[in-house]
């Protein structure tokens, strides 16, 4: 519990520095642009894209609290910039949860393929397959079991792809950006 409080204080302190807030703004802008150019919508229930990469960079650099705040705020911004359906607060909660999950696995820890793979698996199971399927079920009135199979297949396909892309990007983030953020 003490470690959780200490990490929470550290991650909130990160967000008090102007340089870090500006960097978060730049990452948000990149995420919005990636939403436009990398999103593939497959019916109303499946969406593939790489707009979450800037989120993972924020979670690596600034931790779970800032990552959760960033993810939730960015979800709302993306909705206003490019709505792909009705606004539903459940998806904002999912983005906050993703930020916290990745922040816990990545913040102040070495970038390793296994760590990123485990973080991705936890996120894909809890957030993408369970929470987001519940939200889609509520939003569209479809049964959870009807939606889950396609979503599990999509996440099984995307998991190794996302893991490799994140490993490459986060490795370079640690080498090129992190030294300048202190």
Paired tokens of 1? 């519990």
What is the pLDDT at residue 28?
A: 95
Q: Average pLDDT, whole number, for the chain?
A: 89
End-to-end CA distance of the chain: 26
pLDDT at 91: 95
Give the residue among 100, 107, 97, 168 at the shortest CA–CA distance from 129. 97
Q: What is the CATH number of the domain that holds 153?
A: 1.10.1760.20
- Compute the average pLDDT of residues 170-181: 86
How many domains, in total, are found in the chain? 1
pLDDT at 42: 75
Q: Does the structure show a pLDDT above 90 at 54?
A: yes
Is the pTM here over 0.75, yes or no? yes
Please check whether residue 136 is in contact with residue 154, taking contact to mean a CB–CB distance below 8 angstroms: no
Mean pLDDT of 162-176: 94
Give CA–CA dist 112/171, Å, rounded.
Answer: 8
Query: Does the pLDDT of residue 48 top 90, yes or no?
Result: no
Q: What is the domain extent for residue 30?
A: 2-181
Q: How far apart are alpha carbons 54 and 179 in whole angstroms?
A: 17
């Amino acid at each position: 519990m003490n470690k959780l409080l200490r990490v929470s204080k550290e991650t909130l302190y990160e967000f008090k520095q102007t340089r870090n807030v500006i960097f978060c703004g730049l990452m948000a802008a990149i995420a919005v642009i990636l939403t436009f150019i990398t999103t593939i919508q497959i019916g109303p229930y499946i969406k593939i894209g790489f707009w979450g990469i800037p989120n993972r960079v924020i979670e690596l650099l600034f931790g779970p609290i800032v990552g959760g705040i960033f993810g939730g705020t960015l979800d709302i911004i993306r909705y206003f910039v490019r709505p792909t359906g009705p606004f539903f607060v459940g998806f904002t909660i999912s983005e906050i949860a993703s930020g916290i999950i990745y922040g816990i696995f990545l913040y102040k820890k070495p970038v390793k393929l296994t760590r990123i793979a485990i973080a991705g698996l936890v996120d894909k199971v809890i957030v993408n397959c369970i929470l987001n399927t519940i939200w889609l079920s509520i939003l569209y009135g479809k049964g959870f079991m009807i939606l889950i199979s396609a979503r599990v297949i999509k996440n099984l396909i995307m998991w190794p792809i996302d893991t490799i892309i994140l490993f490459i990007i986060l490795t370079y983030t640690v080498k090129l950006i992190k030294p300048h953020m202190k």
